[in-house]
Structure 1
Amino acid sequence: MADPKETRNAPQSFHARGDANAVTSVEIAAAALSVVWLVVAVWYFLAGGAAASGGGFAVTLLVVVLPVSMIWVAAMAIRAARVMREESARLQAAIDALRQAYVAQSQAGKGQPPHPQVVKRLDDLGGGIRNLESTLAMLGGIRQAEPQPGHSPAPSGADDQPTLSLGTPAEALQPPLSTDDLIRALHFPETAEDTEGFAALRRALKDRNAAKVIQAAQDILTLMSQDGIYMDDLRPDMARPEVWRAFAKGERGRTIAPLGGVHDRSSLALAAGRMREDPIFRDAAHHFLRRYDQLFANVESQLSDEDIQSFAATRTSRAFMLLGRVAGTFD
């Protein structure tokens, strides 16, 4: 049986396509202006204006055709801008729907885990919106930086960043990420209605170092959810802030053993088995642990003891505690 949501969305898409092909007020206005211009031009030439001006046939044709052509070029540009704005709105609505489905499914406890293709679909739709917005900016005469055609974006793990003139990194123009936004983003939004959580997540994704950890955490959380491992089910023993600071300064082994405060046997066993048997899961886990280690080492000096406690309570940190214990980081 078809999904009721898909049934409701189908007529909207159909009518949107039909409206895009229909005659609009823009075409009517362009046609009216063309007729008015042709009438004025015919009256002028019949009244003897052409003979008085001494223009030849080519000049006469240019005077008649060029304004009409410009009218229709402007009309087509306005129509294209309107169609792309509508398409951008539909893409944004699709992103919101996918986001709500993803969050609701990932927070559903032991329900069906979110499908990895959801994240890829969100990225594709986001890229479509950016392309549409770039085109709209060009039509409006605004020069806006955009990727070169045929050039694929750099992978999330790449260190190279686009630079502006005189070698200034593009990220240098972004305001620094606040501690509250970083902690909120690492915890991920609570529900689909958590507007503050999504706003913090968007701001964090503009920061290069934070974005790497968030993307790695999203990947590993999705993989663990396939085995029924959810961070909200874990109740780890929280280590003291000085233990976290020792970890940031490079201490390993028994000194930082309290960080492995996850004692849920089921989750530990499932994660350890997946680590041994699934090379994709193992690579994703080690990649996440490296990114988390680098981020915390960079921000530790800026965090108060209370901030460290909040940092350690996020879903991302719980995943670090679980996987770090499985990987032997705290041995």
Structure 2
Amino acid sequence: MSARDALQRLAAEQQRNRLLLVGAGASAAWLALAALFAALAPDDGAEGGSTLIWLTGLVLPLALIWLAVWSARSLSLLREEAQELRALLENMQDQADGGDGGMARPVAPPQPEARIPRPTPAPPRPAPAPAARPSGDGRQASLQLDSPAATELTAPELFFALNFPDGPDDREAIRCLRLALADPGLARLIRAAQDVVTLLAGQGVYMDELRIPETDPMLWRRFAEGARGDAVAGLAVIEDENALETAGQMLRGDEVFRDVAHHFLRHFDRLLSRKAQDENPQVLAVLTETRSGRAFTLLAQATGMLGRGSMAATT
């Protein structure tokens, strides 16, 4: 199951849970109104058939409320199944065409390269960033200047922002990236992630080519809460020795990359710690499947933060 599918499933489950809460609230409100009406209604002494009418008037709205809730939940399940079927058919079609879902993406890492300055300086500061980018693609400046006041991003929005747009037509990812750049903390993280991804791509290490097996979400929560080394060794799942060796060599021999990498690791770690307080652990695992998250896993493994690295970074 892909990261996007996991986010969509979480959102669908949350929506169905909200429907149950709405149904329970509407039922409680109706019962309260019925009790109030019974207390205020005059006692005319006519028992008999009026009791049956009363019970019918009490139960029928409740039945209608829960019929509506059941219908809405069934519709949500049908939509989810349709999306899964559509994704399965697309995957089967890709395999029938002989294409690999990840082969078309190695061109994606250069995308951040068009939106960031030359990777020679240390981690860019928020203030000088607009002045350092006129010679590149002007779209990055528009993403910053046109952004509204910072708002809390949802899990899917944060996923798209950390994964970077696949191109100028990826409008949803561009919208989420605008929202993220309006937050100073997220803006620093994303710029550092773009620098790291671009520098690694320059050495032939592409995030889309890294195979990262599914990991235990609770391990990511443990990591976000401060666990390091062997306690979270199950997160060191990258087996691409070339990528690990290249990252280790860059950390040892390239001072600029080492500074940018430590800056990026620090900000991504803070993001995980903040999200661990109020998000489902599955969200943490999904965020680490983005291009930024893959870079974080690679560098964390290379530096020994996950217990299996070579302690490549030296200061």
TM-score of the superposed pair, with normalisation by structure 2 = 0.53
Q: Which residue of 1 aligns with 2:213?
A: 237
* Cα distance change, pair 203–246 in 1 and its aligned pair in 2 (3 A): same
Q: Which residue of 2 aligns with 1:120?
A: 117
Q: Which residue of 2 aligns with 1:225?
A: 201
Measure how far apart 1:230 and its partner are: 0.5
Of 318, 321, 330, which residue of structure 1 is paired with 2:297?
Answer: 321
Q: Which residue of 1 aligns with 2:240?
A: 264
Of 148, 173, 188, which residue of structure 1 is paired with 2:164?
Answer: 188
* Cα distance change, pair 129–295 in 1 and its aligned pair in 2 (3 A): closer
Q: Report whether the alignment pairs 1:294 with 2:270.
A: yes
* Cα distance change, pair 325–314 in 1 and its aligned pair in 2 (3 A): same
Q: Secondary structure at the match of 1:235?
A: coil
Q: Which runs of 5+ in 1 are unaligned?
A: 1-106, 134-170
Measure how far apart 1:268 and its partner are: 0.9
State how far apart, in whole Å, the 2-side matches of 1:115 and 1:298 are: 25
Greater fraction helix = 1
Q: Secondary structure at the match of 1:308?
A: helix
Aligned CA-pair RMSD: 3.3
State how far apart, in whole Å, the 1-side matches of 2:179 and 2:114 are: 23
Q: Which runs of 5+ in 2 are unaligned?
A: 1-103, 119-129, 308-315
TM-score of the superposed pair, with normalisation by structure 1 = 0.51
Measure how far apart 1:206 and its partner are: 0.8
State how far apart, in whole Å, the 2-side matches of 1:236 and 1:200 are: 24
Of 154, 179, 185, which residue of structure 2 is paired with 1:203?
Answer: 179
Equivalent pair of 1:205/1:211 in contact (CA under 8 Å): yes
* Cα distance change, pair 225–328 in 1 and its aligned pair in 2 (3 A): same
Of 175, 184, 189, which residue of structure 2 is paired with 1:213?
Answer: 189
Identity %: 34
* Cα distance change, pair 292–112 in 1 and its aligned pair in 2 (3 A): closer
Measure how far apart 1:198 and its partner are: 0.5
Q: Which residue of 1 aligns with 2:88?
A: none
Q: Which residue of 2 aligns with 1:163?
A: none
Number of residue pairs the alignment of both structures matches:
189
1:117-156 equivalent positions in 2, closer than 5 A: 119-120=116-117, 123-124=133-134, 125=138
1:154-193 equivalent positions in 2, closer than 5 A: 174-193=150-169
Which structure has the larger Rg? 1
Q: For CA contacts below 8 A with separation 6 or more, give which structure has more relative contact order.
A: 2
Of 109, 124, 128, which residue of structure 1 is paired with 2:106?
Answer: 109
